[in-house]
Structure 1
Amino acid sequence: MTTNDQAFEARAMTADDVPAILAFAARLPVTDLLFLQRDIRVEKVVTAWAKQNERGLIRSLLAFSDGQLIGCAAVVRDALSWSPHVAEIRILVAPESRRGGIGRRLAQEAFALALTDNTEKLIVSIVPEQRGAIALFEEMGFSAEALLRDHVRDADGVKHDIAILSIDLLRQGSQRLAYGLG
């Protein structure tokens, strides 16, 4: 794939990618990780993620450039929960690779994965300071649904808000059909 003249390879995550993910997570600012349920800087967390990915419980894509992991996307859905029709998109891009369209491409690919899984509603959780990410998801049709104040605490004990954006894929699909957009 190429975006804004930056070439990268996007592919499904495998268990062999655990070391690359740990190295990638170590390069990220801690505020980039706060919207995740677990700390992906911890090996046992990433190993569990890889196992869930292998079992199809999470669908993850990784973006590599020159052999280095520069971004990842995951579509997370719990078929045994009260909300099996809802999936969450999680996107991370290395600081040095931002503003090049990689996050947008990963978001689009994750969106497409969710559609193939018959997901009815997609959500994304974002730290409100990440205005570029919020703008990207709003362009994709997501809208603000909630602001959870002081919802997460970083390693220094500082609390941060989390914004939740969502898109109703069934409603969007019906609207597209009504307007003749297929």
Structure 2
Amino acid sequence: MSREYPRTIDCGGVAVELRRFLPADETAVLAFAKALPQHDLLFINRDITHPRVIKAWLAEIAEGTISTIIAVADGKVVGCCAVVSDALSWSPHVGEIRVLVATEMRDRGLGRTLAQEALVEGIGRGLTKLTVQMTIDQRGAIAVFEGLGFRGEALLKEQVKSRDGTLHDIAVLSHDVAQVSAQQSLFGLDNLA
């Protein structure tokens, strides 16, 4: 199971190109990250608004521990999704999905599309369990992932601290690929991704 890139999709009347994150996109991805509300970045382990973190991200893409798809509209990055895994860890079968969408592109289906792209990417990489983390107030994002078969697995109390010092809880949702696939097959919903 894999997708072809680049390809163009319609998001609420806006043409959006989905493509792999390449070194040539470094400046545009950094600008995208810096334009995001700080609250959107809390569930990501690193602060992607720093150029050195973007360089490390690209290095991890080259190493194969992260795969990233960016969404571009009118020459500007408006979203991205990533699947992070580590073949040398105790959990080489697990991948973490991260999805970010520019404020102006919300409520157009881009977040759902990127979540689906990441799910297909993770399954295509042979991962058997996928997780996603977000602050508990991100109800729309939680609903998107639940619609893709993710279920709540953990609540991490006061796990992250925003720049103003406020502590936030993180919800962890997971997707057991074989279990969800079997359930979909049982109900004749095999081709949802």
TM-score between both structures, scaled by the size of structure 1: 0.96
Aligned: 1:105 with 2:95: no
Question: What are the within-5 Å matches in structure 2 for residues 93-132 of structure 1?
Answer: 93-132=101-140
Q: Which runs of 5+ in 1 are unaligned?
A: none
Distance verdict in 2 for CA 1:64–1:174, change over 3 Å = same
Question: Equivalent of 2:151, from 126, 143, 161?
Answer: 143
Q: What does residue 6 of structure 2 align with?
A: none
Q: State the Cα distance separating 1:175 from its structure 2 match.
A: 2.9
Aligned: 1:153 with 2:153: no
Q: What does residue 56 of structure 1 align with?
A: 64
Q: State the Cα distance separating 1:178 from its structure 2 match.
A: 4.3
Q: Which runs of 5+ in 2 are unaligned?
A: 1-8
Question: Equivalent of 2:15, from 2, 7, 10?
Answer: 7
Q: State the Cα distance separating 1:55 from its structure 2 match.
A: 2.1
TM-score between both structures, scaled by the size of structure 2: 0.90
Q: State the Cα distance separating 1:177 from its structure 2 match.
A: 4.0
Equivalent residues, number: 182
Amino acid at match of 2:151: S
Structure 1 runs, 4 residues or longer, greater than 2 Å off: 173-182
Determine the C-alpha separation between the residues in 2 that align with 1:110 and 1:98. Answer: 18
Determine the C-alpha separation between the residues in 2 that align with 1:72 and 1:111. Answer: 13
RMSD value over aligned CA atoms? 1.2
Alpha-carbon displacement from aligned partner over 1:115-164 (angstroms, at most 9, x marks no partner): 11111111000111111100101111111111111000111211111100
Q: What does residue 31 of structure 1 align with?
A: 39
